């Protein structure tokens, strides 16, 4: 407790006629302590939000991977034809990675637009000023692309690794 806070506490105890062994009937708050508590709460909320976002990215990524695996299975014959006429493994891998990233970027764009609309709605209804920075929008788009690459790689690798003859026989 700072010396000013102690002096104020002593003065209030004297003016309220509180004996030395009595408890205070007032509170003296140090704004530095309030600020530290607010920073702790903000840190916890940020961690909680990051955890929710991480779980959402993981679930979304698994969904993307499952969709892409189904796409590879449904398009096995097409992949076989492409490879039979000269498409390289790299070309097939790139095609499926681009599809996965495109799918994630579309989802990311929907999320960005939704986030901007919700922040404007909160600002209008609650009167809280909200700011959506270009940095956060670019970061969200980057994470969407990264999720597409990370979770789309396995299905793309599976598609690129197909034997053209087996793929052409697939029904």
Please report the sign of the dihedral spanned by the C-alpha atoms of residue 39, residue 43, residue 48, residue 54. Answer: positive
Taking the C-alpha atoms of residue 114 and residue 109, their distance in angstroms, rounded to an integer, is: 8
Which pLDDT tens digit goes with each residue over 57-99? 889 889 999 999 999 999 999 999 999 999 999 999 999 999 9
Mean pLDDT of 159-163: 91
Reported pTM? 0.70
Closest CA to 151 of 20, 86, 77, 62: 62
Closest CA to 148 of 87, 68, 80, 81: 68
Domain ranges across the chain: 3-169
């Amino acid at each position: 407790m700072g010396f000013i806070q102690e002096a104020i506490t002593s003065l209030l105890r004297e003016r309220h006629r509180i004996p030395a062994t009595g408890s205070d009937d007032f509170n003296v708050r140090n704004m530095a302590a309030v600020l530290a508590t607010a920073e702790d709460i903000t840190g916890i909320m940020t961690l909680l939000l990051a955890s929710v976002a991480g779980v959402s990215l993981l679930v979304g990524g698994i969904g993307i991977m499952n969709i892409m695996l189904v796409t590879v299975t449904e398009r096995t014959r097409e992949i076989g034809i492409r490879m039979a006429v000269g498409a390289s493994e790299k070309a097939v891998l790139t095609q499926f990675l681009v599809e996965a990233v495109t799918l994630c970027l579309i989802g990311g764009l929907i999320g960005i637009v939704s986030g901007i609309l919700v922040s404007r709605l909160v600002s209008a209804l609650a009167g809280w000023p909200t700011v959506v920075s270009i940095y956060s929008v670019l970061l969200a788009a980057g994470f969407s692309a990264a999720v597409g690459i990370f979770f789309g790689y396995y299905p793309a690798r599976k598609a690129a690794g197909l034997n053209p003859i087996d793929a052409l026989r697939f029904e």
